[in-house]
Amino acid sequence: MELEASIRARVREIIASRPGKDRAQLLEVLHEVQGAFQSVPRVAAEEIEREMGVPVTDTYGVVTFYDLLTDKPTGRTVLRICEDVTCHLHGSSELVAAAERSLGPEGEPSADGSISWTRCACLGLCDQAPAAHLGGEPLAPCTPAFVEKAGARHV
């Protein structure tokens, strides 16, 4: 209950920091919520509904549409590996294999909660494929050795 109350309070702060409470603010609010909690938990969506009038189902429609948002817990840092066509042709499957070896199953936070990894669509770095993002920072071209090094630091 205490955690739920603190999430609700933080969501209210995030909403209050925006120039308005209208639906146009939703994406920015969700990015801030994601940054604060590494996901958009159900209780946050409920608070958004209460404060902004955006139904929980609409919030989850946005969360499930955008690759950078998730309703599932992630590590504090997320490694995103592009698996779109160009990166696939340039060896992204080797990055995925390295992530599975060094970081464990896709989408699951490491034991210390510091990192998780996921596949994603094009990151706009096709000319430097295979590409990845680590904590929002571009890594291109990325190598299996880099992925394993990231894993060794966090697991």
- 68 counts as binding ligand FES under rule CB under 6 A: no
Distance of alpha carbon 105 from the chain centroid: 15
- 126 counts as binding ligand FES under rule CB under 6 A: yes
Least CB distance to ligand FES at residue 72 (A): 23
Comparing CA positions, the residue from 82, 108, 109 lying closest to residue 95 is 82
Among 79, 129, 147, 150, binds ligand FES (CB under 6 A): 129
In this structure, the strands spanning 115-120 and 77-82 are parallel
Among 11, 63, 125, 139, binds ligand FES (CB under 6 A): 125
- 132 counts as binding ligand FES under rule CB under 6 A: no
**Alpha helices (H) in the chain, listed in sequence order:** 2-16, 26-37, 42-52, 56-65, 85-89, 92-103, 144-154
| Closer to ligand FES by Cβ: residue 50 or 88 | 88
Pairwise CA distance, residues 149 & 82, whole Å = 18
- 86 counts as binding ligand FES under rule CB under 6 A: yes
Least CB distance to ligand FES at residue 76 (A): 24
Pairwise CA distance, residues 123 & 136, whole Å = 10
Task: State both tokens at 148.
Answer: 């394993």
Least CB distance to ligand FES at residue 117 (A): 15
- 30 counts as binding ligand FES under rule CB under 6 A: no
Pairwise CA distance, residues 100 & 129, whole Å = 19
Among 84, 95, 118, 144, binds ligand FES (CB under 6 A): 84
- 131 counts as binding ligand FES under rule CB under 6 A: yes
Residues that bind ligand FES (CB under 6 A): 82, 84-87, 122-126, 129, 131
